[in-house]
Chain A
Amino acid sequence: MTMVLSSVIFLGGLGVLFSLMLVAAQRKFAVDTDPRVAQIEEALPGTNCGACGYPSCALYAEAVAGGDDLEKCVVGGQDTLRALASIMGVEVSDAQREPKVAVVFCQGGSDVSWFPGVYRGIEDCAAAEAGQDVAKRCQYGCIGLASCVRACKFDAIHMAPNGIPYVDASKCTACGACVRACPRDLIELHPVSHEHFVYCKSQDPGPIAKKVCEVACTACKICVKAAQKDDNPSAVTMQGNLAVVTPEPYTAKGEYGDRCPTDAYATDRNMVNRDRVLSTIRELQGTGVGS
């Protein structure tokens, strides 16, 4: 009995002692925090998903109060964006308000790209990439094992019959799950109205790129020169052996991909085989195959 009593007294005393010490320390080392941080944290979804690039909602709240961009929370979407904007006292610009959609930067399906091998490994893009065991010759293009399709929780991305994922913009929430699933970083989030892109990530020099894929960017610079001629040189720039369309709303100036010899520079409207792809996907959605 004495043992129980002395245990209780000892542990209780220890707890009280240290809590007093901590209270004193808390007083002494008190930090003035921005009251907006707590408000912002309240407005965020609190899922700690990490899609904004910060490990937790609390850290993103601190970053926002410190001046970081408001639209990084993809889970909260437009509602969260408006809430954050009202807390921070800023207007939401049109570009921020516009919903984003996932864009796949590869058109090299089995119909146009060279597949010298047959892959018999795990049905997962990251596994194939880690093992350097990809059937496709292009080392920058889509591996085609549908990791992004499996990552999508919204049934918004499907494999087209040629083995390239196709995003259904009406279902895409821009959550970024497919972006993280792709080991070759071929999927990016862009505002819905941006349709002009070079749908290719190949850094191969022109002759090789052309040899391995019919719709690769061959770094011929026709689009870059067209943009320069149009006095809009920042619209399309070369990044290594790849022409990249600047993701700004430059579309008022028109597009520069009309003369792209390989159709790598395309709009969503004239994406290679788009009609065939769409009709097949509609059929597949009915049967549940391909998801």
Chain B
Amino acid sequence: MEFVVLFVTAAIVNNFVLHYFVGICPYVGVSKEVGAAASMGLAVIFVMTLAGIAGWLINNLVLMPLGLGILEYVSYVVVIASLVQLVELFLKKAIPALYRTLGIFLPLITSNCAILFLVLMLALEEYGFLESVFFSLGAGVGFTIAIVLMAGIREQLEQADIPRAFRGAAVTMAIAGIMALAFSGFAGLV
């Protein structure tokens, strides 16, 4: 039960994109089609979960016992960058079409603040191993939910008659704000 609560917290109540406002860059950049957005979400789930696990192991088995807390950021960045490279290599081989769709945003997961934020948060909250796994998974799922919802709305907007000065980035920002407001309604859930 505790794990479920943690999962829901990370995925919905404290949604990374809409509550903490991290990972905005792919959230706006890859949310033009639902398909591409969902794949981006899957890639982020994968990287987040692995980064969460690897980050927890490094933090609790190496950094803490050796008193090397200052190396936290550096080692997390190394871990995240390597994992993203791994995903990239895999996608390039397995699904080249998707690799092209995601384009520059795939390597940019490296610098996606949501992932570094997640790993740092795991250390900060001192979660146990299983808690970390569920929290990481929840964070990834939350990101996917946010970006897929956004893509759905933007696909509908393609047909909408938006006032000229409001088109493009302006309306996207407004939608992101309204979605964040809506998600704040989950605040009392857990």
- Cβ-defined contact, B71 with A18, below 8 A: no
Q: Please give, as numbers and ranges, the residues of chain A lying within 8 Å of B62 by CB-CB distance.
A: 10
Determine the residue in chain B with the shortest Cβ distance to A56: B104
**B190 proximal to A (CB < 8 A):** no
Q: Please give, as numbers and ranges, the residues of chain A lying within 8 Å of B90 by CB-CB distance.
A: 25, 29
- Interface size on B (CB < 8 Å)? 25
Chain A, interface size category, equals 20 to 34
Determine the residue in chain A with the shortest Cβ distance to B92: A31
In A87-124, which residues have CB < 8 Å from any B CB?
A: none
- Cβ-defined contact, B89 with A22, below 8 A: yes
**Complex: A21 Cα to B85 Cα, angstroms:** 10
Q: Please give, as numbers and ranges, the residues of chain A lying within 8 Å of B103 by CB-CB distance.
A: 55
Q: Please give, as numbers and ranges, the residues of chain A lying within 8 Å of B60 by CB-CB distance.
A: none
**Complex: A18 Cα to B50 Cα, angstroms:** 13
**A279 proximal to B (CB < 8 A):** no
Determine the residue in chain B with the shortest Cβ distance to A129: B164
Interface of A is mostly: helix
Interface of B is mostly: helix
Q: Please give, as numbers and ranges, the residues of chain A lying within 8 Å of B92 by CB-CB distance.
A: 29, 31
**Complex: A3 Cα to B90 Cα, angstroms:** 37
**A7 proximal to B (CB < 8 A):** yes
Q: Please give, as numbers and ranges, the residues of chain B lying within 8 Å of A11 by CB-CB distance.
A: 71, 74-75, 78
Query: B66's contact among A10, A14, A15, by CB below 8 Å, is which?
Result: A10
**B109 proximal to A (CB < 8 A):** no
**Complex: A131 Cα to B163 Cα, angstroms:** 11
**Complex: A130 Cα to B92 Cα, angstroms:** 40
Query: A130's contact among B58, B67, B71, B164, by CB below 8 Å, is which?
Result: B164
**Complex: A17 Cα to B26 Cα, angstroms:** 29
**A30 proximal to B (CB < 8 A):** yes
Q: B65-99, CB under 8 A of A: which get 1 and which 0? A: 01110110011001100100110011011101000
Q: Which chain A residues have a beta carbon within 8 Å of chain B's beta carbons? A: 3, 6-7, 10-11, 14-15, 18-19, 21-22, 25-26, 29-31, 55, 130-132
Q: Which chain B residues have a beta carbon within 8 Å of chain A's beta carbons? A: 58, 62-63, 66-68, 70-71, 74-75, 78-79, 82, 85-86, 89-90, 92-94, 96, 103-104, 164-165
